[in-house]
Structure 1
Amino acid sequence: MRIVIAGGHGKIALLLSRQLAEAGHEPVGIIRKPEQADDLRAVGATPLVLDLEHSTIDELAVALTGADATVFAAGAGPDSGPDRKLTLDRDGAILLADASVRAGVRRMIVISSMGADGFDASSDDGFQVYLRAKSEADAAVREHDLDWTIVRPGSLTDSDPAGVVTLGESVARGSIPRADVAALVSALLVGGTAVGRQFEVTSGSTPIVEALGAL
């Protein structure tokens, strides 16, 4: 499969690209900075330089032509201001969904955030704006004619992967290694499971494939 990953230089995206490449798939990572290209090549991904915040639907759709799936793993980051959280975390995801439809790519996976719908609409706090951006992006993606899955992980860590999770429409707050999120997304892509589903996930005791199969 050819999988185009928005936010291709992010930690989860790099882990996912390596896993996909090692399994014989073709990951393509969308990056904004050309100097990041070698990092993608090192994990087996093909770099695609394109700025989601300054691209049209048509430009992105051309880049997606021939893909089997798209993954939104982009984010403005904790040091970004509220405006970029909206233009990238929200609008970037919606743009990828729009372009996926135009390019005829049905499968789309969004990496969102646990508790996204609980944002304080009256707050301009950076984290609250981030949750709002994720919530509004997720809502927009759900309205698209796509085989979407929305993954809402808990707090992300750089711990070694455990391969076991707690997964459900709503689960108790907790953390999860980025490597396990990558493995879960890989399993979704390969298995074609959880289409039209949105769920939260943290570390737990159930193997990833088994947890997805129980949805």
Structure 2
Amino acid sequence: MTTLVIGANGQIGKQFCELAQQAGTPVKAMIRSEEQAPWFKERGINTVIGDLEGDFEHAFEGCDQVVFTAGSGPHTGPDKTLMIDLFGAIRTADVAKKKGLSRYIMISAMRSEAPLEAPEKMRPYMAAKFAADVHLRNSGLSYVILKPGRLTDEAASQQFANSFDEAGDNQISRANVAYALLHTVKTPSVINQEYLLLDGQRPIGDIIQ
């Protein structure tokens, strides 16, 4: 089962692709240009050129499921949030449905269901995530939505919590998100589920099962 990774050149995407390669889990990393390819080729990770704001349907060929971990990033405006985090995610789901993929795994965000409660500068992003999640739930695809808290650059502890009360904080390392994503990809029986992900004290198999 080959997994297409949308947003492979991002911070979570790269860590996930590397973990998958080390685990022998086949992935195809979608990147925007050949300039991004060397990092992946050095690690033996297959790549395909595709643009979320343009043509990418060809990238799905030979893939069984898709991971969406793309993001417009904190230094862009609401225009990119609309085109990447919202419309890019919606188009990806529509193509996955058209191609008959078995599952769509979305990296969303904690509290995306309440955009107006987010800090003002984060509200367009949260609104985009909210709408993309709604579209995915109603797409007819089998799906998993992972909702990490505030992202950090700490090393992977491989220990998790799935509530603020349990974790005592609202953060999770990108490395832990990548690890949880690998577990999800390798557990095809998990469908139509949503999971809050925070750093904690439990193995990922206790959270996603």
TM-score, scaled relative to structure 1: 0.90
Alignment of 1:31-70 (within 5 A): 31-55=31-55, 59-60=56-57, 62-70=58-66
Q: 1:111 to 1:138 in 2, by over 3 A?
A: same
Q: Take 1:75 and 1:44, find their aligned partners in 2: how far apart are those partners?
A: 24
1:127 aligns with 2:132: no
5+ residue gaps, structure 1: none
TM-score, scaled relative to structure 2: 0.92
5+ residue gaps, structure 2: none
Paired residue for 1:17? 17
Paired residue for 1:211? 207
Q: Is the 8 A contact 1:193 1:212 kept in 2?
A: no
Q: Take 2:161 and 2:44, find their aligned partners in 1: how far apart are those partners?
A: 30
Q: Secondary structure, in 3 states, of the residue corresponding to 2:104?
A: strand
Q: Is the 8 A contact 1:82 1:126 kept in 2?
A: no
- Aligned-residue offset at 1:86: 1.0
Q: Take 2:120 and 2:48, find their aligned partners in 1: how far apart are those partners?
A: 33
Q: Take 2:13 and 2:4, find their aligned partners in 1: how far apart are those partners?
A: 10
**Partner amino acid for 1:23?**
A
Q: Secondary structure, in 3 states, of the residue corresponding to 2:194?
A: strand
Q: Take 1:85 and 1:170, find their aligned partners in 2: how far apart are those partners?
A: 30
Paired residue for 1:202? 198
Alignment of 1:179-190 (within 5 A): 179-190=175-186
Q: Secondary structure, in 3 states, of the residue corresponding to 1:8?
A: coil
- Aligned-residue offset at 1:72: 0.2
Paired residue for 1:116? 112
Q: Is the 8 A contact 2:158 2:203 kept in 1?
A: yes
1:103 aligns with 2:103: no
- Aligned-residue offset at 1:191: 1.4
Q: Take 2:165 and 2:140, find their aligned partners in 1: how far apart are those partners?
A: 24
- Aligned-residue offset at 1:173: 4.8
1:72 aligns with 2:54: no
Q: Take 1:148 and 1:169, find their aligned partners in 2: how far apart are those partners?
A: 24
Question: Residues 56-90 of structure 1: CA distance to partner in whole angstroms, max 9, x if unpaired?
Answer: xxx51x32122121000000000110011011001
Paired residue for 2:156? 161
Q: Take 2:43 and 2:109, find their aligned partners in 1: how far apart are those partners?
A: 25
Q: Is the 8 A contact 2:107 2:147 kept in 1?
A: yes
Paired residue for 1:144? 139
Q: 1:69 to 1:169 in 2, by over 3 A?
A: farther
